């Protein structure tokens, strides 16, 4: 007997909807990152209340479960001492001779285009623990990174 004749609906052939994957390791965040998570949870709750379509609500609820989990497991990292590159620092560096400024942040608040990279990124991992003036190997190249300055992100400097 053909599948077309025995199937009640197309629901059984839809792709399963898995939960959004959580990044591995501790959920370190900055104070700004924790605030962003809270805002995201509030916005999703409001969107769920306003959404009439059940399919769209299911998608929003899935996203809300992700952000609620991230918010409840968040560990706000203490402010670094600025003696060495660490989570929460703003680093001025030369990468292959090009000067860049980046911030080391949590996985969920990373925006590489804005200069915020996750502390788990290979570039961040190569710099963590280094001090001003140190020259580091990166990507198989010797002396690829030079740490020029270490400071606090602008938002935390004003607080």
Retrieve residue 44's tokens.
């999703």
> Model's pTM, two decimal places?
0.80
- Report the C-alpha gap between 127 and 84 in whole angstroms: 9
Cα–Cα distances in angstroms (integers) from residue 14 to residues 9, 17, 121, 122, in the given order:
10, 9, 35, 37
Is the confidence at residue 156, as pLDDT, over 90?
no
pLDDT band at 64 (very low <50, low <70, confident <90, very high): very high
- Report the C-alpha gap between 34 and 14 in whole angstroms: 35
Are β-strands 98-105 and 90-95 bridged in parallel, bridged antiparallel, or unpaired? antiparallel
Instruction: Note whether 27 and 74 are within 8 A (CB).
Output: yes
**Interacting residues of 158 by C-beta distance below 8 A, sequence separation 6+:** none
pLDDT band at 88 (very low <50, low <70, confident <90, very high): very high
- Report the C-alpha gap between 94 and 100 in whole angstroms: 6
pLDDT band at 84 (very low <50, low <70, confident <90, very high): very high
Is the confidence at residue 8, as pLDDT, over 60?
no
Mean pLDDT, residues 66-74 taken together: 95
**Interacting residues of 131 by C-beta distance below 8 A, sequence separation 6+:** 83, 84, 85, 147, 150
Is the confidence at residue 154, as pLDDT, over 80?
no
Is the confidence at residue 101, as pLDDT, over 90?
yes
């Amino acid at each position: 007997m053909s599948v077309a004749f025995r199937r009640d609906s197309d629901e059984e052939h839809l792709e399963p909807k898995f939960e959004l994957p959580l990044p591995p390791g501790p959920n370190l965040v900055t104070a700004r990152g924790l605030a962003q998570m809270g805002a995201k949870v509030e916005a999703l709750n409001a969107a769920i209340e306003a959404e009439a379509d059940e399919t769209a609500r299911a998608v929003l609820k899935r996203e809300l479960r992700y952000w609620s989990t991230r918010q409840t497991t968040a560990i706000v990292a203490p402010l670094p001492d600025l003696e060495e590159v660490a989570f929460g620092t703003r680093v001025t560096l030369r990468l292959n001779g090009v000067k860049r400024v980046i911030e080391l942040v949590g996985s969920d608040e990373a925006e590489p285009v804005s200069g915020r990279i996750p502390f788990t990124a290979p570039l961040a991992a190569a710099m963590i623990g280094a001090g001003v003036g140190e020259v580091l190997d990166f990507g198989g190249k010797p002396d690829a990174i030079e740490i020029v300055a270490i400071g606090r992100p602008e938002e935390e400097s004003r607080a």
